[in-house]
Structure formats: structure tokens, C-alpha cells
Amino acid sequence: MSLNATSISANLERLHNQIADICARCQRRPSDIALMAVSKMHPAEALLEAYEAGQRLFGENRVQEWQSKSETLAKLANWTNASRGTSSAAGSGGEFRMHLIGPLQNNKTTRAAKLFHAVDTLDSLKTAERLNAAALAQGKVLPVLVEVKLSPEATKHGAAPEELGALLAAVAPLPNLRLSGLMTVPPLSASAGEEAELARPYFQRLRGLRDENVGRHPSLTGLSMGMSNDFQAAIEEGATTIRLGTAIFGQRSYST
Ligand SMILES: *Cc1c(COP(=O)(O)O)cnc(C)c1O
């Protein structure tokens, strides 16, 4: 299933309004919450449509998938114009940014450092060291979030909360990574429809971990949490980035 350009821009507009309403109720500023468009499993054209509607912050789960989409986008004339343009449209404004929000394998760190503006799923020192070396080779300082695994669910990636302090202490001195915050994905059951409230304790826990560690690591301010089904609770609990796929692009088709 694919949505047309009108619905992607309408979805973005509706979401900006919803975020503003939620913020008004919990006394936060909408400008403190970044809306990330998660374009995984959607074609490059959908991403371009969101870009043309003013969206600037994106997330993809897989290095390979973003590599092939970025090659497609590079061939689209309006993408080239768009990415050269200086206009800061409504939405996130500023430059195009693509974050890696899926697991990073050690053998993909070089490509990840090259293709992404930030990696939001760091969860081991070994990967951090490789990513640091790759970022150095690219001559860039890569912002990173540490993903924390807050549930025993086997399929979830991330560092254990008990190991977080040691991991942060080891990553902080790496000169080509900049620790920018924490990220989590609650267990699936916690984000399904009416049970969205079940995700709230995970958001509270992530915020608590950030608050515990930000004194030692002052750049660790970000909290990436909340998806299409539970972003309201995430904003109420302090999210600085919410990651929305379905709410912007519609259902993902896993058959192709
Ligand atoms: C797919 C995905 C999202 C977006 O999920 P939706 O429910 O479609 O909003 C957010 N974060 C991560 C890590 C994802 O893999």
C-alpha cells in the first residue's frame, strides 16, 4: 500500500498539530520535540514526498536499504534541487538528516559512518570503537544515542540498564563520537493500540537513566522514544525525538 503526496503532507500537518496539542497539555514546547520520519520499507519516492512537505529528519533501520534509496534519490532531479535548496520549510527545518535506528552490525560500521548523519542504536563498546574509527576516517564527528534494552524480550537490541554507566564511560572519550542521548523500543505488546499506556513505564525508565547519567555526560540530553501508537505518552514523559513511520507513510508492506 502506498499513500499519495497529499496524504503524506496531510499526515505531517496533522501530526504537527497533535504534537502542539499534547505539548500544550503537558507544558512542553513543540520546538523541543523532533519528529523523525521513519521511512523503512517505503520507497525513496515517499521519502522525497515527505521532504517536499518540509520534513528534514528521517530514520532508516538498515544500512543496505538506505544505501539503495539514497542512490535512487540521487538520480531524482527534484531531490538534487531540494537538497541544494536553502529554504527551511515548515516542519523540522534545516538540513536533511538521516539516522540509523536499526541494529548496527560490526561489519557495517564503515558504511554506516559514511551514509548516516547519526547512529541511534549504539549498544556495545566494540561497535562504538569501530564506529569511532570509521567516523575518524570520514573526517566527521558522529552523534550517537545509546540504545537501552528495558525488557527481557529476546528480539530487542540494546545495552542492559546495569551496563549503561560503564558503556557511557567507555564511549565518552572516543573523539569522533558524540554521546547525544538514549533511545529505546518498548516491547511490542506495549505499543499495540489501546495498550499504548503499557509503554509509559519504559519511557519513564529511560528518562530516569538519562537523568542519572547526564551529570557525568552533559551532552547526553536526548531521549528518542515513542512511535506511532504511543508517542503521546512518550512526549508526556520527556521524549526529545519521536520516531513515526506508520502515522506518516501508512502501513508497511512486508511482502515485497
Ligand atoms: C519501525 C520503527 C519505528 C516506527 O514505527 P511506527 O510504529 O511505524 O511508527 C520507530 N522506531 C524504530 C526503531 C523502528 O524500527
Residue scoring higher pLDDT (54 or 188): 54
Residue scoring higher pLDDT (256 or 201): 201
Amino acid at 101: I
Quickly state the pLDDT bin for 87 (edges 50, 70, 90). very low
Task: For residue range 172-201, list pLDDT tens digits in order.
Answer: 999 999 999 999 998 876 555 566 788 999
Task: Name the closest-CA residue to atom 10, ligand 1.
Answer: 243
226 lines ligand 1 (CB under 6 A): no
pLDDT-wise least confident of 6-10, 84-88, 188-192, 246-250: 84-88
- Res. 18: pLDDT tops 90: yes
CA–CA dist 233, 56 (Å, integer): 23
Distances (CA, A) of 121 to 61, 104, 127, 158, 183: 10, 7, 10, 7, 7
Name the β-bridge partners of 38. Answer: 59
Quickly state the pLDDT bin for 90 (edges 50, 70, 90). very low
Give, for ligand 1, the residue of 188, 241, 243, 248 to mutate: max count of ligand atoms closer than 8 Å to Cβ.
243
Task: For residue range 198-243, list pLDDT tens digits in order.
Answer: 899 999 999 999 999 999 999 999 999 999 999 999 999 999 999 9
Residue among 99, 79, 102, 86 at smallest CA distance from 36: 99
244 lines ligand 1 (CB under 6 A): yes
Task: For residue range 111-151, list pLDDT tens digits in order.
Answer: 999 999 999 999 999 999 999 999 999 999 999 999 999 98
101 lines ligand 1 (CB under 6 A): yes
According to DSSP, residue 139 is labeled: T
Q: What is the CA radius of gyration of the chain?
A: 18
Q: Residue 195: what pLDDT?
A: 66
Q: Residue 236: what pLDDT?
A: 97
**Which three three-digit cell numbers place residue 150?**
528495558
Q: Residue 1: what pLDDT?
A: 46
CB 113 within 8 A of CB 142: yes
Name the β-bridge partners of 118. Answer: 99
**CB under 8 Å, gap of 24 or more: what pairs does 125-132 form?**
125/167, 125/170, 125/171, 128/167, 128/170, 128/171, 128/174, 128/177, 129/174, 130/106, 131/104, 131/177, 132/174, 132/175, 132/176, 132/177
| Interhelix angle 164-171/200-213, nearest 10 degrees | 50
Q: Residue 75: what pLDDT?
A: 86
Q: Residue 226: what pLDDT?
A: 96
Q: What is the mean pLDDT of residues 22-51?
A: 96
- Res. 2: pLDDT tops 90: no
Residue in the structure block whose three cell numbers are 529511560: 206
Quickly state the pLDDT bin for 4 (edges 50, 70, 90). low
According to DSSP, residue 29 is labeled: -
